[in-house]
Amino acid sequence: MRNGIVAILATVIAAILSGCGGQIAPAPKQETAKKTFRIAFSQCNSAEPYRTAQNNIMKRDIAKYPDCTLTIQDAQQDNAKQIAQIENFIQQGVDVLIVAPNEAAPLTAVVKKAKEKGIKVVCLERNLLEPVYDIFVGADNVKIGELAGQFVAEYVAGKGIQNPVVVEMKGLLGTKPQEERHNGARKYIDPIPGVKVIEDVAGWIQNESLKRMETILQANPKIDVVYAHNDPMAVGAYWAAKNAGREKDMIFVGVDALGGPDGGIKRVLDGMLACTFYYPTCAAEGLEYAVKLAHGEQVPKEIILEPARITKENAQEWYDKVTVQ
């Protein structure tokens, strides 16, 4: 009886093994969790419309990269705050840091520290004192200044204005865009015969420009051109002149050429600005290269995007092109 039971069990086991090909099925493989790359953007001042546009473009485009996350922190034009925020990103061990420095000198050391900790760095649009980054993505501010200076010189010559008075409303001192937009423009403005240039600083802020321009208007009965280092400051100067009933006595020239109903291109279409110059936000490109760095890809040391002159003749075309939906 016992031998019969053993024989039956042996037959059953043989059948099972035969049905399985004589092998025990392997355990299913466990999928390796995919890495998520953390990208941090240290923004110098989101209150500026240009900076808001950068933020919005990055928030939109991060969806293209499902294995990446994006965190944006705003330094509110405060060097100490931006340094502290970057220090925090270093402590968190983010994979890539995108930084738009508020000022070059104070931010260079902390960005260098991030790089030395193994964090990949994209320097966006404002350069540092040293190339302590993997890639710089920006535009040619000297060229933008030169284009603006050429426009002013052509306007004055074309109108036959004698002894012209030009107001230069400058951005935040200590920043590369301010310095370069000033130097580029003055190559062409300073040689204008009999020119008088009145300089003031509004730190990129529209309301500050309005206040500064009010004082300039009171002291100067003749003003022919206002050249501002960005569109908000040009608009601020315009409103000061309009409030004084003098907006038709001069033209207003800006830089940035953002799209949308509040951007500089719309101000050209409305006749508020005579001209603005397209200064690429560099945001889409900056994020694209940040993702490449996160993935371990090689990138160039520098990417420089081209500016463009925008007047009423081509403003609608540019408005349609650069407006972020």
Q: What is the pLDDT of residues 40-65, one digit of tens each?
A: 999 999 999 899 999 999 999 999 99
Question: In order of start, what are the domains of the chain with their CATH numbers?
Answer: 37-139+281-305 (3.40.50.2300), 141-278 (3.40.50.2300)
Q: What is the average pLDDT across 275-286?
A: 96
Q: What is the average pLDDT across 221-246?
A: 98
Does 230 have pLDDT greater than 60? yes
Q: What is the average pLDDT across 178-196?
A: 97
Does 9 have pLDDT greater than 60? no
Does 11 have pLDDT greater than 90? no
Q: What is the pTM of this model?
A: 0.79
Q: Which residues, in sequence order, are bridge partners of residue 253? A: 227, 275
DSSP 212-231: HHHHHHHH-S---EEEESSH
Which residues are CB-contacts of 287 (< 8 A; sequence separation ≥ 6)? 39, 57, 58, 61, 62, 65, 70, 98
pLDDT band at 34 (very low <50, low <70, confident <90, very high): confident
Q: Give the pair of three-digit tokens for residue 233.
A: 């400051």
CA distances from 122 to 41, 100, 134, 214, 240 (A): 9, 9, 6, 39, 38
Q: What is the mean pLDDT of the chain?
A: 91
The pLDDT value given to residue 325? 61
Residue 39, Cβ neighbours under 10 Å: how many?
26
Contact 259, 281 (CB under 8 A): no
Using a pLDDT cut of 90, give the percent of the chain over it. Answer: 86
The pLDDT value given to residue 16? 43
pLDDT single digits (tens) 13-33 = 444 444 444 454 555 555 556
Does 12 have pLDDT greater than 50? no
The pLDDT value given to residue 19? 47
Contact 286, 185 (CB under 8 A): no
pLDDT single digits (tens) 188-211 = 999 999 999 999 999 999 999 999
275: DSSP letter: E
